[in-house]
Amino acid sequence: MDNSNDLRRDIAKQTMQNDVRLNAAYIDGEWITIEASDSDTVDDHALYDPNLGEVIATTRLSTKFHVDRAVDAAAKAYPAWSQTSVSTRAHYLNAIADEMEQQFDKLVGLSVFNNGKPIEEAKIDVSDAIACYRYYANLITEQETWSEVSSESGIRLLKTYAPVGLCALIVPWNFPMVTTAWKLAPALAAGCTVLLKPSEVTLLPELMLGNILSAIQMPKGVVNILPGGAEVGAAMTSHPWIDKVSFTGSNLVGEKVMIQAAKGIKDISLELGGKSAIVVCADADIEYACDLIIGGIFTNAGQICSATSRLLVHQEIAQSLFKRLKAKTEDLYIGDGFDTATQMGPLVSKQQLAEVKKYMDIATAENLDCLTGGEILKRQGYFATPTIYTDVPVSSQLWMEEIFGPVLVSATFSDNVEAIRLANDSKYALAATIVSADETAVLEMALQIEAGHIWINEQQIVLPEAGWGGFKQSGIGRELGRDGLSAYQKSKHVLLPS
């Protein structure tokens, strides 16, 4: 590690020490110190630098006591915020984006420091979050207050929208700030007040949001930030005053969230797992296809719900493609996130590294053919090798289960019918990629592949205006786009004489 990496890490450490409020929850527009006396379950919680595998800070997590307090604040703020003009809400969303731009380098540094992702990926994340707040600021101003549905028999029918109410937003650790923006921006645009629970694993960049909200003078109680674990999530999702729950995470936890939200008949959105396919047709450019394959599975060390972790290759080009893919994969630079040359960083935690190792051991037990990788690196931090298995049977655990790491399984196909069948051979249906020179043929394939988001000859770019979400066990509802705003609104109809 060169001196520039040390310098970037030192700057991030200074930002943490100077700007991040640890041992506190952001409630009713203020940082509330989490005292040991608040609950018998308050313990010190460690935050790590995944690049080095070292503790960088200790903090305390909020409890049910803080959830109750935050709900009270959100309920108190709701009547006024829900009735604010769209221009006022748009102003605050743009103000969040403006402040994030001012804090850009700090947010990037904290993301690398606490999440481990390469610095260039962290820059993309912060930019994407900013774009999301701006998108919903614009979208809400375009939405008509009243729209006329029909006018017949002397009767007028008008339609408008109302906020769904108090929202519990629970976001994961793999994309701090990004998934927060996906939920918070449309919720605020709709006129909801919220409780936000960032992942306890990657608190540093997320807690900066409290400072941003104070800086822009967001009305008190509209946004409340509760750093916490499962106890806090359960208290949020089961609280009788919460009207909507939006959760992104694993299917196992998503099922629990759904059960908790059932009491009181809460509105619910779930963005869950994926085992997405990338289909490479016989006419694909092999070099470009390899770039798309690598980007789809090794970006963020494979810790992406939409990671195209199942590779389907036409048998005519399989041998040539795998030869080139092996070479390009082994040429990836794996290193410290603060190193600008790094192309793949570490897993986020020791626990996630162990999860990836578990699947590598299963691959060995199943006698899978390892094209490259298959190892945990013996170095500081939580690093695994970019790994590719070939000729993987559909009965393999690695084919069926989401690994959430840099592990690619592959199989070949003889025609598009078989490719579609294999692509759909999953309990998940979040995303897919198709690589082919024949646009007409791949658009036909896109109609038949079960997925909510499909890229054709493109990297996994996610636009704010494109709705996001899947079918089957990949979740319920949509985020982003107009669908994302609708998720936090209820339509209202008014009938009156013409």
The set of residues, in sequence order, having a beta carbon less than 8 Å from that of 224 and lying 6+ positions away, is 25, 26, 27, 28, 70, 73, 74, 194, 195, 196
The C-alpha torsion from 52 through 6 and 206 to 140, rounded to 10°, is -130
**pLDDT for res 1:** 45
**What is the model's pTM?**
0.95
CB atoms within 10 A of CB 145: 9
Written as one letter, the residue type at 320 is S
Which token pair is 306? Answer: 């939409």
Number of H helices, E strands in the chain: 16, 22
Coil vs helix vs strand at 246: strand
Which token pair is 193? Answer: 């007040």
Instruction: Select from 3.30.1300.10, 3.40.50.2300, 3.40.50.620, 3.40.309.10 the CATH code of 277-463.
Output: 3.40.309.10
**pLDDT for res 35:** 86
Coil vs helix vs strand at 377: coil
Which token pair is 148? Answer: 């006329």
**Residue among 359, 459, 346 nearest 117 (CA):** 346
pLDDT digit string (tens) for 230-242? 999 999 999 999 9
Q: Which residues of the chain register pLDDT less than 70?
A: 1-2, 37-42, 151-152
**pLDDT for res 405:** 98
Q: Indicate the pairing of strand 244-248 with strand 166-170.
A: parallel
Coil vs helix vs strand at 168: strand
How far apart are the C-alpha atoms of 110 and 417, rounded to whole Å?
A: 46
Q: Is the separation of the CB atoms in 128 and 178 below 8 Å?
A: yes
Angle at 304 between CA 281 and CA 120, to 5 degrees: 95
54 carries an active-site annotation: no
**pLDDT for res 2:** 60
How far apart are the C-alpha atoms of 207 and 212, rounded to whole Å?
A: 9
**pLDDT for res 447:** 97
Q: Is the separation of the CB atoms in 451 and 464 below 8 Å?
A: no
How far apart are the C-alpha atoms of 281 and 444, rounded to whole Å?
A: 13
Report how far Cα 448 is from the mean position of its chain's Cα atoms: 26
Q: Is the separation of the CB atoms in 247 and 199 below 8 Å?
A: no
Residue with tokens 């309990």: 427
pLDDT digit string (tens) for 334-347? 999 999 999 999 99
How far apart are the C-alpha atoms of 54 and 75, rounded to whole Å?
A: 40
How far apart are the C-alpha atoms of 490 and 22, rounded to whole Å?
A: 36
Active-site option among 121, 305, 402, 479: 305
Which token pair is 332? Answer: 């990836």
Q: Is the separation of the CB atoms in 185 and 132 below 8 Å?
A: yes
How far apart are the C-alpha atoms of 172 and 201, rounded to whole Å?
A: 9
370 carries an active-site annotation: no
- Domain locations in the chain? 3-272+476-493, 277-463
Active-site option among 99, 121, 200, 271: 271
Which one-letter DSSP state was computed for residue 317? T
Q: Indicate the pairing of strand 453-456 with strand 44-49.
A: unpaired
**Residue among 334, 311, 337 nearest 49 (CA):** 337
Tally of residues, the chain:
498
Which token pair is 185? Answer: 């921006």
Helix ranges (H only) for 104-173 are 104-115, 119-142
Written as one letter, the residue type at 306 is S
Tell the CATH topology of 3-272+476-493. Aldehyde Dehydrogenase; Chain A, domain 1 (3.40.605)
